Structure 1
Amino acid sequence: MNPHIELIDRYFEAWNELDAAHRRELIASTWAADASYADPLLSGNGHDGIDAMIGAVHERFPRHTFRRTTDVDGFGNRLRFSWELRTPDGDAIVKGSDFGVVDASGRLAAVTGFLDAAPGMA
């Protein structure tokens, strides 16, 4: 069994959590204190930066949800997986792939995201 599946499922739970206090708990249990996230549109550093970034996504895409679309693949402390952002009606409007590094405590140290499909992409 892949040891990173639970971690990445919690990662998506944090992305989808609307309650700010519960989202902070999920971030603390999923991300290292000095973790970083970067994709072509967003970036965040540390728990505060990651929380602010997720909050901004909720403001821009209300009631949208992220869903993992592939297995979590990896070796050692490196992993990758793909996802989609779904509208409240269930339509996938953005698709991407993330690559992560897990620290010695089993939390995410860094995630780099790539957009595979988005409105306006050729």
Structure 2
Amino acid sequence: MNAHTDLIDRYFDAWNETDHTRRRELIAATWTTDADYRDPLLAGAGHDGIDAMIRAVHERFPHHLFRRTTQVDSFANRLRFSWELTTPEGDAIVKGSDFGVLDSHGRLQAVTGFLDQVPDGA
């Protein structure tokens, strides 16, 4: 694995973490303090905003998990990867692709997400 793959796997670990303290540690290790996340349904700025956004997803989709579905493609300080949100039974209900910008220390400064597949009525 390369550093970008490790970073994005840690990104998903943060998305999947239900323990508040551990999730905050993962966010701090993955994101810059002024980080920004945006997709058509969610937005979060800074560690507090990203934590609140992830917590809201856990409340709406309890026991669901995010997982990376592609390799991490990168050049310079840009990267992209795809993912899916799965039910406790393992069925993918949402799929998307994210594009990230890294700071000079290799942490996420910004992520823009696109939803490739969403359930009807979402």
Partner of 2:33: 33
- The 4+ residue runs of structure 1 with deviation greater than 3 A are none
Report Cα offsets for 1:63-117 as digits up to 9, x if no partner.
0000000000010100000000000000000000000000011100000000000
Report Cα offsets for 1:45-74 as digits up to 9, x if no partner.
000000000000000000000000000001
Partner of 2:21: 21
Distance in 2 (alpha carbons) for counterparts of 1:74 and 1:40: 23
Letter in 2 for 1:80: R
Partner of 1:101: 101
Residue aligned with 2:111, SS: strand
| TM-score normalized with structure 2 length | 0.97
Distance in 2 (alpha carbons) for counterparts of 1:120 and 1:110: 28
| Contact 1:2/1:72 (8 A) holds in 2 | no
Cα RMSD between the aligned structures? 1.0
Identity %: 74
| Contact 1:85/1:92 (8 A) holds in 2 | yes
Structure 2 residue runs of 5 or longer lacking an equivalent are none
